[in-house]
Amino acid sequence: MLVRRRNKYSIGRAPSGRARCRRCKSCPPKGALVIVISAFVRHNRRARLYRCVECITPAFAQTVREAHGRARRVPAEPGMDQEALAEARAQLDRAMDDGDNA
Ligand SMILES: [Zn+2]
């Protein structure tokens, strides 16, 4: 049986200055607030991809919501501080609302 595996999302920080954002293609500086995308690349293998919080679009927020629900349900990477987490979730919520109102 074919099971469609969804990407998973979490809130974290850029691991290095070389991780490219999937949208703007620039590299968020190490430690920058990002959405981590855990994507299936092939059988049971995941790749970690990144998107800067500035690049959260309504369409992207919608795919996050399909995977997790509202922003407060999106998990945090280990060690995330509450303030940064709240900021990223607020960005996601805004983009979800923008999508609803479009
Ligand atoms: Zn970006």
pLDDT digit string, tens, across residues 66-97: 999 999 999 999 999 999 999 999 999 999 99
Q: Is residue 1 domain-resident?
A: no
The yes-or-no verdict on residue 1 having pLDDT over 60 is no
Question: What domain range includes position 28?
Answer: 8-101
Three-class SS state of 49: strand
> How many Cβ atoms from other residues are within 10 Å of residue 22's Cβ?
15
Mean confidence (pLDDT) of the chain: 91
The tally of domains found in the chain comes to 1
Q: At 94, which CATH number? A: 3.30.1740.10
Q: Is residue 14 domain-resident?
A: yes
Tell me the residues surrounding ligand 1 (ion) with CB < 5 Å.
Answer: 21, 23-24, 52, 55
Q: How far is the CA of 2 from the centre of ligand 1 (A)?
A: 33
Mean pLDDT for the stretch of residues 8-25: 92
Q: Is residue 3 domain-resident?
A: no
Q: How far is the CA of 42 from the centre of ligand 1 (A)?
A: 25
Find the Cα–Cα–Cα–Cα dihedral 65, 68, 69, 73, rounded to 10°.
-120
Q: Is residue 2 domain-resident?
A: no
Q: How far is the CA of 56 from the centre of ligand 1 (A)?
A: 8
Q: Is residue 47 domain-resident?
A: yes
